[in-house]
Every structure is written in structure tokens, then in C-alpha cells.
Chains A and B, each alone.
Chain A
């Protein structure tokens, strides 16, 4: 949260999923904003946890220069718009699994997800179907009914490839412009541009997902998807801009 002005009652404008409103009817508490690691940068970021479902939400902040809110009979500087959107917790678990994976041995998950800087990471262990999630990115072993996990780069790349494809599908249904090149080639060459276009979608989706994984894994994924080196000026995907702004805002 931005604590820049000490003035009383700073107002935050939020957009949250509608079902949180329904869920709130049944709960007394258990909704909370916590600081956890940003799996891309390794720095801190704010997330919203719903301990009753349980579910993790990412908080992104829209911030553009020269904006302010009128909120009823008040003015709120900054013009910030916060989004709370469901987040796949596996991106955060992956951050810890990759760190632990450098030792190359099988470990219980509660020994992997430990963090002196962001101790609230233990909340991740409370998530339902944790074992099912981990299967996407780890090798597992069971000894005396206790599960041990080891990061698997091969499985992780397969998992990320599926993520890229489902993101491509969403980019298409939402008619997101994935690059100036798409429009111009489509304009000049009509349908012939379709193969180029697919590649642009994949590159754009790769860019979006790279916001949730470390740089080294992003590079590996790029090779795995057989993406050629990007052209000189690739416009930043919208979420990238938002994320950078969010960091600057801290």
C-alpha cells in the first residue's frame, strides 16, 4: 500500500472479483493483504489472501501521470486504480522450488517454502490441492507417507508452454493488439500474414508470463517455444507496464 501521505484516511480505489463479495457474507475474517515475493523480480509485492477459500489474488496498480480521483465530496491524488485478480500460486511456489532446486535433492515442501524476508509465505502451504499443483513442476517421492519434492525444469517448461497457449487463446478472444507489425502485415498482405501473426501472439503471451518467472527461466522458455530473437522494438505488454509502475510506486 502506498503510505506516501500521512494524512488521515487515504482512499484506495479497487476492482475485485464479484465472488469475493458473496464469499464475505460467510466469513468473519481471513481476508488479508500480505507482502510476498514477486517471483519475477525477487522483490516484495502485495497480494490478497482469502483464507476461507483459500485463494491467492495478485494486486496490480494502474498508475498514469496526471490523474486524480473525485470520490464523492473529496479529492484523492494519484488517480491509482488497484486490481485484485486471481493468481496461480504455483508461480510463487516455483520461486522457492527453483531456489531449493539448486541443491538438487528431494525435500518436504514446508522446508522449501521458507523465507526470512517474507515470512507470510507459509500461507501458501495452506492452499488446497497443493500436491496436485506441485506435480506440474516437480518430481516427487514418498517415504513413510511423507512427500518429498524436487524442482524439474523439464516439467516446468511443459507446464509453462500450456500456460502460453491458453494465454494466446485469451489474447485472441479479447482482440488484443499484439504488435504494430500484426496490423501492418494484415493490412498489406491480408490472410498471408496468419503464420507471422501466430508467432506474435506467442511472443506476446511469453512476455506476459515472463512477468511471473525469473529471467533465466524466461530465456529457457523462449528457446523451448522456438521463438526467434525479438525485433528491435517490441512494445511492452500492458501488464509489464503496470508491473513496472507498481514497483516504482513502492
Chain B
């Protein structure tokens, strides 16, 4: 592995604030079959939500004059959905900066990291928190509901496969 490039060293950790996972507000999520190139506030409740109708083949709505068909999709059992947002600005909670110091000190400090969860947070780390949670979302397709072979639905079966791949195997 190339390790000569100092720039490529990645010590940074992004801490997920556990308290934000406890009871975040529920969120309404729609997965649209089109790319909106920017991320920003949008009056979804004024234009999109009131136009949703229950049709004979699922939910009906329109976006930019195109007809959409959709369906409520549940988060697979055993999982919970979160919307996470990174905290902005410089957060200064760090205990130590490991970038300086001799090799010996370095090892000592790493030891401390292992021992105490408090020292897991350092100056240069960043923070992220859940702002909302969900147990289902609305999946939209252009003119038809995305079928059982759609990639989204395939992806939702991943956690159950992953569980088998990563389960511990018995020793001989």
C-alpha cells in the first residue's frame, strides 16, 4: 500500500451523537425518480403533498408536469431509519492532538484512547447527529411503481444477506 503520501493519512473520526438517536421526530420521506441537482429547503407541503392521490394502482402524484406512481415502502424489520446532519462550524471538545510528539508519547496516548471513551473525541474530529427518524418512505417511479426487480428494493434485502455473511462461524 502507498503510505508515502502524508496527505492521505486519515485520523479523523466523525462522532455520531448517541442522544440524538433516542427520540428524533418522525420525518416524511419521498424517493423521487429524478435528479434535483441542488439540496435546499423546498415547499414540499405546498406543492407536492396535496397532489398525492390514492389511485387504483397505488399512489399518484406529479412533479414538474410528469406523472408519478408510488408506494409506501417499510424499513426492513430490525432496522430503523434516520436522517443525519453534520454539525456545522468548528467544534472544540478535543482532549489531545496526536499530530505532534515522539513515537513513545504517541503510543501512550493511543493507549489512553483505548481505555477511556472520553478521549475518543479529538480537536480535529467532526460531529454528526440524527435530526429525524422514519419507519417507512414513499418510493416513486415515473408513470409506474418501481417493480420487485428495482435496485432500491434489491438494496433493502442487503441487511439480511449481510447478517449471514458476517455472522460468526462455529469453530471446529
Contacts and interface: CB of A to CB of B under 8 A. Distances in A.
Given A15-B76, A67-B31, A73 B155 contact: no
Contacts of A167: 161, 164-165
A184 interface: no
Contacts of B17: 29, 31
Given A66-B35, A70-B32, A29 B18 contact: yes
Contacts, number: 264
B86 A10 contact: yes
Interface residues of A, number: 90
Contact of A29 (B29, B39, B121, B170): B121
A44 B18 CA distance: 25
Interface residues of B, number: 81
Query: A7, A25, A73, A159: which has the most chain B beta carbons within 10 Å?
Result: A73
Given A64-B151, A74-B44, A31 B12 contact: no
B13 interface: yes
A71 B158 contact: no
Interface string A1-32: 10001011111111111101101110111111
Contacts of A174: 157, 160-161
12 contacts: A9-B88, A29-B15, A32-B16, A70-B48, A73-B43, A78-B39, A83-B155, A87-B162, A167-B161, A169-B164, A170-B160, A208-B165
A116 B82 contact: no
Given A67-B33, A73-B42, A170-B163, A13 B81 contact: yes
A163 interface: yes
A92 to B, nearest CB: 11
